[in-house]
Amino acid sequence: MRLVLVGPPGAGKGTQAQFIASHLSIPKISTGDIFRANVSGGTPLGKLAKEYMDRGDLVPDEVTVAMVRDRLSEDDAQEGFLLDGFPRNVPQAEVLKKMLDEFGTALDLVLELVVDDDEVVRRLAGRRTCRSCGKVWHELFDPPTQPGVCDACGGELFQRDDDREETIRHRLEVYQEQTAPLVAFYADEGILVGVDATGPVEEVTQRAMAVLRRFAD
């Protein structure tokens, strides 16, 4: 099965991608993983991407697409894959469709993790990170025994800038600008299915797997 997983920051894409890929015995392919593998491996594409990153510039779409093409050409992706973080916009979706056409295949399904903005803010703005060991706690879902102090090492807990409410809401605005057209694109293709991403992780996974089972049947 060839899947794409989309959803806003804080929807739990990384966690669900891992569970779903494991259930289906297909590789989870994220742009972050691809970038790290190419950069650490010193591939020509990795060296090119590092030049942009070292200058503080965004890596151009064509470099990202070339990395995705290489990854989808590997043996373990021939029977299926789950893409997390790509495509991010309609132009990338069109490139992916053309790429898969060249491979003689196509996407089977696009799963959209659906969660409202206030829930995303509640999830992300409650995170607190330890300055010493880096462990992440949550004021509501996984609080430390003593507020502001890490249970693991006794270090001070702080709120990262990207976990502040105003930053989160800006990220959600950017997501909507880029991804609302992407969701519409896949809806028009007839392969988009929404999954309610509220509630415990296990329940969200069960909902996603129920969708996949219906589709497979």
Confidence band for 51, pLDDT divided at 50, 70 and 90: confident
Sequence-distant (6+) residues with CB within 8 A of 174 are none
- 127 has catalytic annotation: yes
Kindly tell me if the per-residue pLDDT of 184 is higher than 90. yes
Q: Which pLDDT score, from 0 to 100, does residue 84 have?
A: 92
- 169 has catalytic annotation: no
Q: What is the pTM of this model?
A: 0.84
From the candidates 71, 123, 127, 128, which is the catalytic residue? 127
Q: Which pLDDT score, from 0 to 100, does residue 217 have?
A: 60
3-class secondary structure, 165: helix
- 160 has catalytic annotation: yes
| Alpha-helical runs (H) found in 28-164 | 31-41, 44-54, 61-72, 90-102, 117-125
